[in-house]
Structure 1
Amino acid sequence: MIFPASDTLLAPAPASTVDPEEPDFVVVDVETACARVSSICQIGIVGFRQGREIFAFETLVDPRDEFSTFNIRIHGISPEHVAGKPTFGDIHGVISRHLTGRVTVAHSNFDKGALSAACRLGALDLIETTWLDSVRVAKRAWPQLSSHRLNVLSRHLGIRHRHHDALSDARAAGMVIVRAMEETGIDLQGWMARPGKPGKAPSAADEGPLKGERVAILGEPRDGALAQFLAGAGARVLTSVGATTTLLVISARQPYGRWVTAEAQHRKAEQLGVAIVTEAELRTRLGADGRGPVRA
């Protein structure tokens, strides 16, 4: 049975025992009894501050719904486990106090959808929180991984994790955020910021050492400082790598670290035989006056 032994579970923490420190973010994970996402049968919530856990809440939930064999096989929770446990309506206030007004992390949008569905089913107030998807964070922090499932990430990062236990899943997703901040140097606000749609690429100068080059940029928008430099040297700046691309320039500001070669645009350039150069290498080749040769 996947469902953990009782001595590994935390009892629901009453408000008076919750750590008084305000968390930087909280993490929520739910398990469901059947295909209906409203059928929450377990919930785990963990608060993090400055990279450490400061509180945890976990409880089994009576979903007042059927249990499917498929779901029982996944998480090990069956009707006898939730007999006499609180309903979602009973704990809605506790959940709301933990999440409302905070940054709430969930691994994919499943948990967000489940909470919303359970609130609607019970005619309860929707929980007002700001969501952050740890899958999106993980894909940017570790693009070299073929999968960003929570169990795969936990193995890769050395995080102790019992998959499909709500409390363990919440803890692991929280540590993914902590490790991603350490790996990339991007803080929580940076991860929360949604990149805006890049503006129009600058027009290529009539003359310059990059005249005739069709250049894609990795790690910086097409209307950024690097694009301006490239266009000023005569290059046509492209939206992405394609069949007509002649050069891929890796920005000095790229956020992927040593995993930049795993990025989709880098892989595509390699497949197409497109020349790849870093911004520093390109500027060196052009020389101080910007008139030097492009290629070695």
Structure 2
Amino acid sequence: MNAPAPISTMRTSPDYPDPDFVVIDVETACERVSSICQVGIVGYRDGGEVFAYETLVDPRDTFSAFNIGIHGITARDVAGAPDFAQVHARLEAHLAGRVVVAHSSFDKGALAAACTRTGCAPITARWLDSVRVAKRAWPDLTSHRLNVLADFLGLSHRHHDALSDARAAGQVILRAIEHTGTPLEAWLATPPKARARAPEPAPDGPLAGMRVALLGEAVDGPLAQWVAQAGGRIVAGVGRTTTMLLVATKHPYGRFVEASPAYRKAEELRRAGRDIAILTEAVLRKRIGAF
């Protein structure tokens, strides 16, 4: 378990050189992505760090045991810390109008959700996902989680400490640029892949009538094909009409699968009274047999 970082501003000043890109990482207090309790931001220019900022944040929300187990931050740690509305201006000063890197879409979504919940203006930036960059730079790695990449690249890293995670994600970008020779703007300009098409479900089978969202595999992958052959309809994400979240055997979240956005959304729908099953691939295959 990581010890929480103190409230601090490190080497930040109004006159730091304009960065080529900044990196943000946030930690959250509970399953609500708006419950930001720690923020770390690092700015990079010409391959070097030009500023770093971190702060604990009072999320004005509950702390779940699960999230505390991930990052080690508790309600006691944030007592007296500013809330999101109080740090919004500082975050906007560091991020707005810049290239902003985050490792996956989680941090971007959390920032937007916190702005909405607190009535703060959304922060407009050009976002770059360092997971996507890492997958293109090192496609043969079995995982592109930040701690795995940090170990692979030989980085000093405290996983789930916001400032350390931001630094590591920034180094992923710099190392990918160096490794591939692809400049920052080219990563930003990479066109999105054509949208994958889910297979059509079989007319009958043990999953007929089920609307299945996959966690950890593409909608056109082997698991999707198997579900469709069993009569299930693959949907792009967890929504109000989803009847099953199926967790692939090989997913990128490791033992923190319950922290994934899809899993959290499914649990939220269950608490709201929706009939949605959450099953692992192994359990479902055992239940319905081979197809």
The answer to whether TM tops 0.5 is yes
The AA in structure 2 aligned to 1:63 is P
- Residue 86 of structure 1 is aligned with which of 75, 82, 88? 82
Map of 1:55 onto structure 2: 51
- Residue 112 of structure 1 is aligned with which of 101, 108, 112? 108
Aligned residue runs from structure 1 range 253-264, under 5 A: none
Aligned residue runs from structure 1 range 67-216, under 5 A: 67-195=63-191
Cα drift, residue 20 of structure 1 = 2.0
Q: How much identity, in percent, do the aligned residues show?
A: 62
Correspondence 1:11 to 2:21: no
Cα drift, residue 196 of structure 1 = 6.6
Q: Cα RMSD over matched residues? A: 1.7
CA separation of 1:155 and 1:197: change in aligned 2, threshold 3 A:
closer
Cα drift, residue 13 of structure 1 = 4.9
Cα drift, residue 19 of structure 1 = 5.0
The AA in structure 2 aligned to 1:2 is N
Map of 1:217 onto structure 2: none
Map of 1:23 onto structure 2: 19
> Is 104-113 or 188-197 further displaced after alignment?
188-197
CA contact (8 A) 1:104 1:131 kept: yes
Structure 2 CA distance, aligned partners of 1:10 and 1:80?
13
Cα drift, residue 12 of structure 1 = 2.2
Structure 1 CA distance, aligned partners of 2:34 and 2:24?
15
CA contact (8 A) 1:10 1:56 kept: no
Cα drift, residue 171 of structure 1 = 0.2
CA separation of 1:197 and 1:135: change in aligned 2, threshold 3 A:
closer
Structure 1 CA distance, aligned partners of 2:89 and 2:50?
20
Query: How many residue pairs are counted as aligned between the two chains?
Result: 194
Map of 1:38 onto structure 2: 34
What runs of 5+ residues in structure 1 fail to find an aligned partner?
199-296
CA contact (8 A) 1:19 1:55 kept: no
Map of 1:233 onto structure 2: none
Structure 1 CA distance, aligned partners of 2:186 and 2:149?
21
Cα drift, residue 195 of structure 1 = 2.5
Map of 1:276 onto structure 2: none
Map of 1:2 onto structure 2: 2
CA contact (8 A) 2:11 2:51 kept: no
The AA in structure 2 aligned to 1:11 is S
Cα drift, residue 194 of structure 1 = 2.4
CA contact (8 A) 1:46 1:53 kept: yes
- Residue 66 of structure 1 is aligned with which of 59, 62, 80? 62
CA separation of 1:182 and 1:63: change in aligned 2, threshold 3 A:
same
CA contact (8 A) 2:159 2:165 kept: yes
CA deviation map 1:65-123 (0-9, x unaligned): 00000000000000000000000000000000000010000000000000000000011
Map of 2:201 onto structure 1: none
CA contact (8 A) 1:26 1:103 kept: yes
Secondary structure of the residue that 2:9 maps to in structure 1? coil
Structure 1 CA distance, aligned partners of 2:103 and 2:193?
24
CA contact (8 A) 1:30 1:111 kept: yes
Structure 1 CA distance, aligned partners of 2:135 and 2:128?
13
CA contact (8 A) 1:103 1:132 kept: yes
The AA in structure 2 aligned to 1:193 is A
Structure 2 CA distance, aligned partners of 1:133 and 1:160?
21
Cα drift, residue 14 of structure 1 = 8.7
Structure 1 CA distance, aligned partners of 2:74 and 2:52?
23
Cα drift, residue 10 of structure 1 = 7.1
Map of 2:228 onto structure 1: none
